[in-house]
Structure 1
């Protein structure tokens, strides 16, 4: 996530500098020289960048790395900006409309800045622990209680930290079952949850239904208070 923040900062700075130069060029337009060569360079850049994005997408799908995600966002912004620049250079060089090159540069700058903001947001969400959304919490409860022997869930705590999910809960079981059966029910519930949340760290505490006193510290007091 830190490397992603650094990449986002570099992209943001690049966008700001390009935007500054584009605004200056709009007020002081200059003819584009060597337009054909510039367009050829942009075409090669677009092809190479597209290949890199495809490769990074495959890596991201298998690893879920936030650093790779940030790098891919960087190159995706490059791909779009290169396409806009190609159009701007072509229009300025062959149509004689000099300000179009500067206008294309301004669009590229805004594109880069917007992409950098997206990277910042994603990296910030990875760096700071957060509660799972209500939909995921409801899904956790539903998966845990698929087994009718697991009678209910309470004191559910969830926390997302980077790519990992931490969940703790108390599970209500029939007071008359054996420890071995209770263990089997807990392991089966954990396996169901791991299929849905492969990067999860799961702790399930069994409670005898109707016979468990309040426990668990301040969190339990808040839940039962």
Structure 2
């Protein structure tokens, strides 16, 4: 988190765009080579790899658009920024990965039933080895960008290209087995395995994007840490109505604090300033919204107004409202 906090908005935008440009360039290079290899070999596994790479280009372009939109500063109509554009781009990629998986599986079954075998296996193997080298280089750069930026879109793109490693290894194994062992079912069998792997990755990659779009709460450990940081703040009598969410690379938290009802507005403001300073040191880059209440005042209709530091039957709801020292 510290690396992310020290990045300026411009540096983060530059890094995420560089990863998206690299992804698009690699996908275009591999597409050209795989068109040739699929034409020469007639391999279902290679055709599946080609289809996946074609979708990689569309996915990478969607990532590029997503990170560009997310990098735009908050404006009059988007006061919380544009971070969710990354999650939307990630969902586009999930959809494309799913389409790719279905297409590869259908082609593999058709080829298996028709008894079609690949030709010129050596060509397909050479192309797949080159594709592996280019993919490993891209993955290394994406890991660096993800570590620095926590970009949801780049992380999903990274998952996609991780599956490409297995995909290319599968193509090499299928062609090698067919060419040198005579196992005629290797090509469609590996293609089906690749399709299943892509489908699983699509499901996994969708979860974080959906959580981001649905404003899922922070993990319970992170929320408990927030309360621990401010527990002993002088003048703080309690905390309630804690709500948290994540949008792109930015975290948001809002909550009410109880203070002495006889405290002046200035003193109450000083208490909140101390709380915010403590939280910014622990959660840099997070936007906090803190509202003061006279001690004991509670919105009985608020869902999140359960006692925050008391244990409840549901561990997800055992989080807080009372934080007295």
Q: TM-score under structure 2 normalisation? A: 0.60
Shift of 1:169: 2.0
- Match of residue 302 from structure 2: 219
Distance (whole Å) between structure 1 residues aligned to residue 171 and residue 253 of structure 2:
48
Distance (whole Å) between structure 1 residues aligned to residue 304 and residue 239 of structure 2:
16
- Match of residue 20 from structure 1: 106
Shift of 1:55: 0.7
- What whole-Å deviation, never above 9, does each CA across 1:158-204 have from its counterpart, x for those lacking one? 33344433222222345676655544442232133234433422122
Greater length-normalized contact order (CA 8 Å, ≥ 6 residues apart): 1
Distance (whole Å) between structure 1 residues aligned to residue 163 and residue 303 of structure 2:
47
- Match of residue 32 from structure 1: 118
Superposed, 1:175-194 pairs within 5 Å as 182-194=268-280
Distance (whole Å) between structure 1 residues aligned to residue 151 and residue 228 of structure 2:
29
Shift of 1:220: 8.6
Instruction: Return the match for 1:47 from 126, 129, 133.
Output: 133
Give the conservation status (yes or no) of the 8 Å contact 1:173–1:207.
yes
Shift of 1:41: 0.6
Going from structure 1 to structure 2, the CA distance change for 1:85 and 1:200 (only over 3 Å counts) comes to same
Give the conservation status (yes or no) of the 8 Å contact 1:31–1:96.
no
Give the conservation status (yes or no) of the 8 Å contact 2:241–2:304.
no
Going from structure 1 to structure 2, the CA distance change for 1:108 and 1:150 (only over 3 Å counts) comes to same
Instruction: Return the match for 1:68 from 141, 154, 179.
Output: 154
Shift of 1:120: 2.0
Q: TM-score under structure 1 normalisation? A: 0.84
- Match of residue 135 from structure 1: 221
Specify the SS of the correspondent of 1:194: helix
Distance (whole Å) between structure 1 residues aligned to residue 294 and residue 215 of structure 2:
32
Q: Is there any run of 5+ residues in structure 2 with no aligned partner, and where?
A: 1-86, 308-325
Give the conservation status (yes or no) of the 8 Å contact 1:8–1:116.
yes
Distance (whole Å) between structure 2 residues aligned to residue 220 and residue 7 of structure 1:
34
Q: Is there any run of 5+ residues in structure 1 with no aligned partner, and where?
A: none
Specify the SS of the correspondent of 2:302: helix
Give the conservation status (yes or no) of the 8 Å contact 2:250–2:285.
yes
Distance (whole Å) between structure 1 residues aligned to residue 263 and residue 167 of structure 2:
64
- What whole-Å deviation, never above 9, does each CA across 1:34-60 have from its counterpart, x for those lacking one? 111111110000110111111111111
Write 1 or 2 for the structure with the bigger share of strand.
Answer: 1
- Match of residue 240 from structure 2: 154
Distance (whole Å) between structure 2 residues aligned to residue 164 and residue 181 of structure 1:
30
Shift of 1:99: 0.6
Specify the SS of the correspondent of 2:118: coil
- Match of residue 83 from structure 1: 169
Shift of 1:149: 4.4
Distance (whole Å) between structure 2 residues aligned to residue 15 and residue 169 of structure 1:
44
Q: Which moved more, 1:104-113 or 1:115-124?
A: 115-124
